Amino acid sequence: MPDASDIEVVVFDILGTMVDEPGGLRAAIRDAVPATDDASVDQLLTVWQEHVEHEQRRMEEQSRAYANTETIDREAAQRVADRAGLTDPAVIDRLATASRRLKPWDDSLTGLTRLAQRFPVLGLSNASRTTLLHLNAHAGLRWHQALSAEEARAHKPAPEVYRLAIDAAGCPPERVLKIAAHAWDLRGAQAAGMRTAYVQRPVGDPPKRTDTFDWRSNSLDELVTELTAA
């Protein structure tokens, strides 16, 4: 088992790791288009996700100026609306803010509370500051500090986003532990010198055989038990 005794600060990813992002978006699409069957909802969710991924890739490649997730989500909601034939502005507006109302996983709140009794805990998310504020309140996530990638005008896995957390931690990066359900996010943290812990979720990006993260756990409860046992 890796040694957690030298960890000073823990940094959590939020979307997908602490809250069910795809499930929340799927529910919001179903609310907006109530007569749609499951297959059509999944297709509309794919429209949303592909737009977000494409636009963040364009920003990473510097073929689009930085835009926060509120802007990207509103664009994605409009694409879904166009595909589904939605025209009611109020319905589209509510769909555009679906990321503010995502539900936490069953062990997210207890795991966060347990870990916060041992370490300072930070949230680090691509979500905009406003989205993050409302999401934390809705999901009941209680951080010592929550950081938005908007502060760096970039999206993970850009190095400057991880630097936000390292600077806030006020200690060397090798004493900061990043927890995420996305291997791509952990690779970015690893490149910034941070320690890493993968936690399995029904959604996310599983590690590849070549990944060498410090911890791999089947649940947040399991990971917290390992980290607090030292």
Q: Does the pLDDT value for residue 80 go beyond 80?
A: yes
* CA 179/CA 66 separation, integer angstroms: 25
Give the three-state DSSP class for 215. strand
Same domain, 132 and 95: no
**Residue 1 forms part of a structural domain:** no
Domain final residue pick, 60, 85, 101: 101
The total number of structural domains that make up the chain: 2
Same domain, 53 and 73: yes
CB 155 within 8 A of CB 128: no
Same domain, 107 and 221: yes
Same domain, 53 and 153: no
pTM score of the predicted model: 0.96
Same domain, 128 and 221: yes
What's 218's DSSP letter?
S
Least confident of 9-13, 32-36, 43-47: 32-36
- pLDDT band at residue 3, thresholds of 50, 70 and 90? confident
- pLDDT band at residue 148, thresholds of 50, 70 and 90? very high
Q: Does the pLDDT value for residue 204 go beyond 90?
A: no
What is the sign, positive or negative, of the torsion defined by CA atoms of 197, 200, 204, 209?
Answer: positive
CATH number at residue 128: 3.40.50.1000
Q: Which two tokens stand for residue 15?
A: 């979307």
Q: Does the pLDDT value for residue 1 go beyond 90?
A: no
Domain that includes residue 95, residue range: 21-101
Domain final residue pick, 60, 84, 101: 101
Same domain, 179 and 77: no
pLDDT at 230: 65
**Residue 3 forms part of a structural domain:** no
Same domain, 218 and 114: yes
Considering the chain, what is the average pLDDT of its residues? 97
**Residue 2 forms part of a structural domain:** no
Same domain, 13 and 40: no
Q: Does the pLDDT value for residue 17 go beyond 70?
A: yes
CB 177 within 8 A of CB 214: yes
pLDDT at 229: 87
